[in-house]
Amino acid sequence: MLDEKTNQPAIIATDLVKTFGRTRALDGVDLEISAGGITALLGSNGAGKTTLINCALGLTAQSKGDIRVLGQKSGHALARQSTGAMLQNSDLPDLLTARENIELMASYYPDPRALDEVLGLCEMREFCDVQYKKLSGGQKRRVQFALAIVGRPRLIFLDEPTTGLDSDARRILWKTVRTLAEQNVTIILTTHYLEEADALADRIIVMNEGRIIADAPTTEIRDTVGGALIRCVTRINARQLATLSAVRSVNFAGRFVEILSADAVASLRALLEIDPELSDLTIERPSLEEAFLGLTNRTNGKTDP
Amino acid sequence: MLKRVLFTAISVVIVAVGTVMLSLPTPVSSNETTFDPSAGLMVRNIDVFNGTTWLDDHDVMVREGRIADIGIDLPASDDMQVIDGQGQTLLPGLIDAHTHVFGQALTDSLRFGVTTNLDMFTAPGLLESNAALRDSLDQTTLSDFYSAGNMATIEGGHGTQFGVPIETLSTPEEASGWVSRRIEEGSDYIKLAYIPGQNRLPSLDRETAAAIIREGHAQGVMVVAHISTMQAAQDMVDDGVDGLVHLFADVAVSEDFISSARVNEIFIIPTLTVIASVANTQSSAQFASDPSIETFLTPTQAQSLNNNFPGGIPGFDFDLAKENVRRLHEAGIVILAGSDAPNPGTTYGASLLHEIELLVQSGLTITDALHAATRASAETFDLVGRGRIEIGARADLVIINGDPRIGTAGIRDINTVIKNGYIVERALTTPRTAPRLEDAGLGDFETGLDGETPVSWTSTDDSMMGGASTAAISHIQPGANGSAGAASIDASVQPGFFAPWAGISMGLEQTGSIAEYDSIVFQVRGTPGEYSVMMFNSTLAGTPPNQRFEVTNSWQIVSMEIADFVDFNPEDFVGLAIVAGPQSGEFVYEVDNVRLQ
Amino acid sequence: MSYSIWNAFQKEAGAELLKLLRAPEFFIPTLVMPSGFYALFAIALPGSHQNAEYMLATFGVFAVMGPSLFGFGVGVANERARGWLDLKRASPAPGIVYIASKLTATLLFASVSLGLVYVIAGFGAGVVMEREVWVSLFGVQLLASLPFVLLGLTLGFSFESNAAVAVTNLVFMVMSALGGLWIPVVIFPPALQSIAQFLPSYHLAEIALFVGQAPGTHHVMQSLVVVLAMTGGLAALALFSWARQRSS
């Protein structure tokens, strides 16, 4: 799907590599994000999410490969005119009020939203005339969010937008993001929280160590991720384990087997039935990465007997 | 609104800075002192002293440097500068009949209305272009002068002690050649020193003096005599001298002298000002403190007025001198006003005003005293167009506030000086100082007293001029502001020479040009007091061009504009001296980083 | 300049001024220090009144140097550290707007600082000059901020926030003292004097001294050439350091 204003996909990255010294922050990312909708970049710290966004914004020059934003080279003036951003570590001038900060940012764009519209969208009228340094952490993030949308951008990057927000503020932000998405604005956000990705995104991209390790529509992920991780030593083989009740994926790690299950009780009951001598049993909620590794492994498991 | 902040700030800053810029002080524009000389100048409704008599409430018109008309209700053209002279007095430019033209004589005297100086001995080198200069009617900052040039004296006699090269003579046979060489050099008249019988200095003998008078008259010039006793004066009168440039103050003038003076029609320039100084009366210091005088005195002039002759000289009774003036004047002897500047207790210009007052104190009327300071000198010395206010005379004029016929103080209060039809800028321009130097180091004294360029530093004192001052110099460490070394001077300034000094000086091996530099800069500290910088050309004429400065106990930078050394030729620089003096005393001081900049 | 850039410039310059005005603890000392120093050197110290005119030329350069160096050196480093500069670079704001508005605020600020020095000079220290000399000296001194602005930019792009404060202060002191802005360089030992030749502050002061018709010989053409060359060099350095921090 192409952006309705620019007739371009939002992002196309080809074999994108970024190295900082010996660290490969991005290690060959190939990605296309079509216009419209909300895409969540999921991953732990250091996975490469922020580096990817910085490359897309033109703040960081890639070491290799290519990234195009709305059909332009990243950082190109035309791309920036249609882009809004909320960065992870970016404080605004301390001595300006929210209103002044927004007015200033609006002046950079050819067709910005009215100040009043932004204050309304972000529900921040009550603190818009307070100097930035006197705001709470959450209020500061909301001003930053307001700056990201004031320019009526076609593409918005939100890097960890809800970190430090209370639930009310988070709700307001989610609501605004959804409203914008309804107007066919492309939104790319990074998050640690599966719930946030689940609540907002149409598409989830999982990154680990500079690579994309999973990329799927949210609906698919909602179906497949979750449940519990059962870890034990058993004599039952993978093929048989995979057929057990509620099992999503099976993975061997040394002498252990890791079974990702949508319903731990049901799966465990079935497993104990066929192997009463299983040992070293632990059950835990899987980390995001494990969940997505599970996701990918299950896919592998289906094709790999 | 952010835009409003910007435009408010810009407006406020522009208005504020603009207001400051428009109200910052600028030099007072001197509209009144500039005018188009071709259009001329009209002084209206002023009381005029024409050199002889008074023309009250007249108009005087000046065109092209000369007086064009005198009358009542004269028509003035529109572009003519008009001065309202109501309540003021117009005098002819004053003539000082006895000065010595050295240093800043011509500028200093002009500021006080003396438009013509009669020099009674200076370096003959100054006379070369003088005749043409004094005939000019161009705008000038200089007074005109006539000169005796090289005076007639014996080897070692009066006149040889000032350091000016001088051709002496000792026998009547030399007189003819000597006089013709003076006329050749440009002397306008001859002055001889005849002071027999006093043991301080040898003198020409009477026969030689008489021969000089005869030869002078034979070759068509006047001969005047410097005497200090009535006996010497009588000798000279008997031998046919034209005038005396001092009045004796040793005895009361005798009837015999008066009658021979009248028969021989001599004139006398009493120089009461210098007699007052020799007699230690302090009247000059008092005169110098009058604001209408003091404002226009350079530091050098003020210094000179506050000096007396060191120790005084016996044989001068000031009251006797005034009484002699009164009796000679009453007997009809021509009295001319002269100051003998720049001797101690006198200075150029101001001292002639003082002399006029002293003549009045002696018993002359103000009218006679002003006549003595103007037309009497012009007629005696045959100065065409000077000392009078007549149609066709030179427009050398002085406007004074008030009427001097009512009280004598009015003569000091000069309002305007006009020379060659131009109003003279009377205000002093103080030398500007700048603490900067960078090139052409003359001495940094880092490792010793050797200079940086081919220069050598030595001690200097006035012994070459017959003075008694001494100086010793040494190298000390450290120098100014952390530099490695400096020159230290131990100077003892003693009375002897009329402007005594002692200090350190540098000389170049050969003359050099410093025309590309603006100032001489150095650092100094030491015994607080007054010091001088003297600049030397390869030809020495009188007191070297100099400027004074103050020293304090802490290092300070002294910077002097080379242009402010009057009569110094920067293309012919041979050296300079940084000295203590002329006030007597013991001075220990240090000098460092002497540079031209 | 298209309307949108002009519009952005006006607002950003306004914002820069607001930030300045809302930090009186920074701007009042910076504003008052040059005139205070000038009053001390040209009025209060014994014998100094003779040099009031001379020092007006050098302290004027000093007055514009402070806002230029600190506004850009510390200001840019600080905004870089906060990530504010990143956000601006991600936005469509042209770099020229950022520089131009900071420059505008700096020039206005420097004008006021300079104006105060002039007030002290004219009404306290007895300096008297022709009107056109006052005005042209002011103009020259205001222009003298340009090389310092470029130097400040280079420092701001090259050093992290805390380091930038220290380095800018050091540069400020060296430029002032060794450039002869407080005390004429002639007072220094020759080795230190020769350092002055490499400082823009020294040459700018020379030009100001010439324009202000201060006494002494000022090699104005030579200083002008040196200043222009230095300004060109600093501009290149500023561009280089900007580009370098950008590509990291």
Same-domain status, B153 and B260: yes
Same-domain status, B199 and B324: yes
C110 near C63, Cβ under 8 Å? yes
Tell me which of B254 and B585 has the higher pLDDT. B254
Residues 129..188 of C with a Cβ closer than 8 Å to B: which?
Answer: 129-131, 134-135, 138, 184-188
C242, pLDDT greater than 60: yes
> For a pLDDT cut of 70, what percent of chain B falls above it?
91
| Of residues A60, A80, A93, nearest to C84 (C-beta) | A93
CB pairs under 8 A between B and C: 124
DSSP state of A157: E
B35, pLDDT greater than 60: no
Same-domain status, B348 and B438: no
Please state the pTM of the whole predicted model: 0.54
Q: Of the candidates B366, B390, B415, which is a domain's last residue?
A: B366
pLDDT tens sequence across C24-40: 988 899 889 999 999 98
Which chain A residue's Cα is nearest to C90?
A57
Same-domain status, B580 and B441: yes
CB pairs under 8 A between A and C: 80
Distance CA A99, CA A129 (A): 6
Strand partners, A40: A189, A204
Mean pLDDT across the stretch B90-97? 96
Residue B50 CB neighbour total at 10 angstroms = 21
Distance CA B67, CA B266 (A): 31
- Residue B57 located in a structural domain: no
C84, pLDDT greater than 70: yes
Predicted local confidence at residue B33, as pLDDT: 43
Which range has the worst mean pLDDT, B434-443, B584-593, C14-23, C178-187? B434-443
Residue B332 confidence class, pLDDT cut points 50, 70, 90: very high
Residue B430 confidence class, pLDDT cut points 50, 70, 90: very low
* Alpha-carbon separation of residue B130 from A32, B135, B373, B380, B396 (angstroms): 101, 9, 22, 20, 18
Range of the domain at B491: 9-23+434-596
| Of residues B2, B435, B480, nearest to C11 (C-beta) | B2
Residue B379 confidence class, pLDDT cut points 50, 70, 90: very high
C87 and A147 in contact by Cβ < 8 A?
yes
A193, pLDDT greater than 80: no
Distance CA C226, CA C239 (A): 20
Mean pLDDT across the stretch B458-475? 79
> For a pLDDT cut of 70, what percent of chain A falls above it?
90
Residue B311 confidence class, pLDDT cut points 50, 70, 90: low
Which chain B residue's Cα is nearest to C130?
B26
Distance from CA of A133 to the nearest CA of C (A): 12
Q: Of the candidates B348, B366, B384, which is a domain's last residue?
A: B366
Predicted local confidence at residue A305, as pLDDT: 32
Contacts with A100 from chain B: Cβ below 8 Å:
2
The 3-state DSSP class for residue A187 equals strand
> For a pLDDT cut of 70, what percent of chain C falls above it?
94
C87 and A90 in contact by Cβ < 8 A?
yes
B145 near B134, Cβ under 8 Å? yes
Distance CA B229, CA B275 (A): 13
Residues 6+ apart with CB under 8 A from B504: B457, B458, B459, B460, B471, B473, B487, B489, B577, B578, B579, B591
Same-domain status, B181 and B281: yes
The residue among C75, C99, C96, C80 whose CA lies nearest residue C20 is: C75
Tally of domains within chain B: 2
Contacts with A104 from chain B: Cβ below 8 Å:
2
Tell me which of B230 and A289 has the higher pLDDT. B230
B272, pLDDT greater than 50: yes
Which chain B residue's Cα is nearest to A102?
B2
The 3-state DSSP class for residue A259 equals strand
Predicted local confidence at residue A301, as pLDDT: 37
Distance from CA of B567 to the nearest CA of C (A): 20
B197, pLDDT greater than 70: yes
pLDDT tens sequence across B491-525: 988 877 667 889 998 877 666 778 778 888 898 99
Which tokens hold the place of A26?
């991005």
Place of tokens 């025309």: B515
Predicted local confidence at residue C2, as pLDDT: 53
Predicted local confidence at residue A133, as pLDDT: 92
A303, pLDDT greater than 60: no
| Of residues B2, B26, B597, nearest to C14 (C-beta) | B2
Contacts with C216 from chain B: Cβ below 8 Å:
434, 436-437, 518-519, 559, 597
Residue B396 confidence class, pLDDT cut points 50, 70, 90: very high
Same-domain status, B495 and B577: yes
pLDDT tens sequence across A2-54: 777 767 888 999 999 999 888 889 999 999 998 889 999 988 788 899 999 99
| Of residues A57, A95, A104, nearest to C12 (C-beta) | A104
Predicted local confidence at residue C48, as pLDDT: 59
Predicted local confidence at residue B435, as pLDDT: 27
- Residue B28 located in a structural domain: no
Single-letter amino acid, residue A295 = L
Tell me which of B36 and B392 has the higher pLDDT. B392
Buried b (16+ CB within 10 A) or exposed e, C155-189: bbbbbeeeebbebbeebbeebbbbbbbbbbbbbbe
Predicted local confidence at residue A300, as pLDDT: 40
| Of residues A60, A100, A107, nearest to C18 (C-beta) | A100
Q: Mean pLDDT score of chain B, rounded to an integer?
A: 86
C227 near C147, Cβ under 8 Å? yes
B560, pLDDT greater than 80: yes
Same-domain status, B440 and B340: no
Which CATH number characterizes residue B460's domain? 2.60.120.430
Residues 6+ apart with CB under 8 A from B513: B570, B571, B572, B573
| Of residues C18, C90, C247, nearest to A80 (C-beta) | C90
- Residue B461 located in a structural domain: yes
Which tokens hold the place of A39?
């895409």
Which chain C residue's Cα is nearest to B562?
C216
Predicted local confidence at residue B31, as pLDDT: 45
Same-domain status, B261 and B361: yes
| Chain B residues with at least one Cβ partner in A under 8 Å | 1-2
Mean pLDDT across the stretch A140-159? 94
B74, pLDDT greater than 70: yes
Single-letter amino acid, residue A155 = L
Which range has the worst mean pLDDT, A127-136, B102-111, B261-270? B102-111
Same-domain status, B499 and B585: yes
Torsion of CA B72, B76, B80, B86, to 10 degrees: 30
A91 and C15 in contact by Cβ < 8 A?
no
C-alpha B272, offset from chain centre = 17
Query: Which candidate in C9, C19, C87 is best for mutational testing of the A interface (most A CBs within 10 A)?
Result: C87
Question: DSSP letters along B55-103, please?
Answer: EEEEEEEEETTEEEEEESS----TTSEEEE-TTEEEEEPEEEEEE---T
Mean pLDDT across the stretch A210-235? 79
Predicted local confidence at residue A102, as pLDDT: 94
Predicted local confidence at residue B78, as pLDDT: 76
Which CATH number characterizes residue B218's domain? 3.20.20.140
- Residue B351 located in a structural domain: yes
- Residue B340 located in a structural domain: yes
Predicted local confidence at residue A32, as pLDDT: 92
- Residue B82 located in a structural domain: no
Contacts with A92 from chain C: Cβ below 8 Å:
82, 84, 87
Which tokens hold the place of B6?
């910007």
DSSP state of B173: G
A297, pLDDT greater than 80: no
Same-domain status, B344 and B244: yes
Mean pLDDT across the stretch A131-145? 92
C83 and A90 in contact by Cβ < 8 A?
yes
Mean pLDDT across the stretch B476-490? 84
B408, pLDDT greater than 70: no
B47 near B397, Cβ under 8 Å? no
Distance from CA of A77 to the nearest CA of C (A): 6
Q: Of the candidates B334, B366, B398, which is a domain's last residue?
A: B366
Contacts with C247 from chain A: Cβ below 8 Å:
61
Same-domain status, B302 and B154: yes
The residue among A229, A196, A238 whose CA lies nearest residue A295 is: A229
Residue B273 confidence class, pLDDT cut points 50, 70, 90: very high
Residues 6+ apart with CB under 8 A from B278: B308, B309, B312, B313, B316, B345
Which range has the worst mean pLDDT, A262-266, B350-354, B384-388, C243-247? C243-247
- Residue B72 located in a structural domain: no
Predicted local confidence at residue B37, as pLDDT: 58
- Residue B281 located in a structural domain: yes
A107 and C18 in contact by Cβ < 8 A?
no
Residues 6+ apart with CB under 8 A from A106: A112, A113, A115, A118, A150, A151
C89 and A151 in contact by Cβ < 8 A?
no
Place of tokens 């103007």: B374
Q: In terms of DSSP H, where are the helices of chain A?
A: 49-57, 77-81, 98-106, 115-121, 137-149, 167-182, 194-200, 218-224, 238-242, 264-274, 288-303
Same-domain status, B315 and B448: no
Strand partners, B151: none
Distance from CA of C35 to the nearest CA of B (A): 14
Say if the ipTM goes beyond 0.85.
yes
Distance CA A147, CA A169 (A): 16
Which tokens hold the place of B53?
């008599």
Predicted local confidence at residue A134, as pLDDT: 94
Predicted local confidence at residue B452, as pLDDT: 56
Distance from CA of B1 to the nearest CA of A (A): 8
pLDDT tens sequence across A55-110: 999 988 899 999 999 989 988 888 999 999 999 888 999 999 999 999 999 999 99
Distance from CA of B440 to the nearest CA of C (A): 12
Distance from CA of C93 to the nearest CA of B (A): 16
